[in-house]
Chains A and B, each alone.
Chain A
Amino acid sequence: MIARWLVESMFLVTALMVLGGGVLAVSARKLVRAVFGLIICLIGVAGLYFQLGSPFMFAMQILIYVGAVCIIIVFAIMLADPGAMEDRFGSRGAPVAVALLSATCVFIVILNIFRRTVWLPAEIRSADTSLQTIGKRMLLDYGLVFELISLVLLVAIIGAIVLARGGRDTK
């Protein structure tokens, strides 16, 4: 009973981290604070993965998102203009009301789809979530996708170098 209560309160804490971090990430004026909100949100999502029974995805989420993607965004903020760090609400871009309306429309539509669908679990469900199975399936069943992702990452690395170096040679 007490264990269940602990799991439940941990779920609430992680859900609160996800939502609070997300609100901070989209509404903070300074972009550095927005990245901080994004980090809190991503750690919360990692906690949700842990609760969904996958410590491996928990580690991957922390490593890839918090460790790599967020650091890249911090680098982008550092290398861009310090004066451009302020991101004011709707001074020239879309007003807040328009953004809120579109986000609410998307939210309501998807929520209704979720509510009206009858979610039935598959009749035969394997309980095997071990790391060995994940690795085998990733390299055997999804081998082509795996290779494609590695190709995409290679092209992204080369493209990033070409794009970021491009302006320097012409000077």
Chain B
Amino acid sequence: MSPSLLLSESLYSYLVIAILLFGMGVFGLVQRRTLIGMLISVELILNGAGLNFMAFSKFLAPDPTTGQIFTLFIMGIAAAEATIGFAVIIAVYRKYRSIDADRVSELRG
């Protein structure tokens, strides 16, 4: 078995997994009704992007640390996004008594 035939040493297998993650995230984002479900889907999308960065930095990039640093930054952004999403969900729930995205449809504060 030559090294190029191994699934774990081919760029494409990682890329395909990353697109599948991204596609599942898009599916959940369109289909979910609650804000928490959408938050979960966004995490899937961000992970797909991070996996892409890691795969490219392992197989293609001149400096293999670049992708790791960018994935770390993506993780930081995801943590900030989850925090803000959490606070928004709590605020919306307090005002509307529901986390259904369809019911939160008036702009007046």
Contact = CB atoms under 8 A, between A and B. Distances in A.
Interface of A: 1, 4, 7-8, 10-12, 15, 18-19, 22-23, 25-26, 31, 34-35, 38, 41-42, 45, 48-49, 51-54, 56-57, 60-61, 64-65, 68-69, 72-73, 75-77, 79-81, 84, 87-94, 96, 98-100, 102-104, 106-107, 110-111, 114, 119-129, 133-134, 137-138, 142, 145, 149, 152-153, 155-157, 159-164, 166-167
Interface residues of B, number: 78
A159 B58 CA distance: 36
Interface in B17-55: 17, 19-28, 30-34, 36-37, 39-41, 43-44, 47, 50-51, 54-55
A18 B87 CA distance: 28
Contacts of A152: 76-77, 80
Contacts of B22: 106-107, 110
B30 A103 contact: yes
Contact of A166 (B50, B84, B91): B91
Interface of B: 1, 6-8, 11-17, 19-28, 30-34, 36-37, 39-41, 43-44, 47, 50-51, 54-55, 58-66, 68-69, 71-73, 75-91, 93-95, 97-102
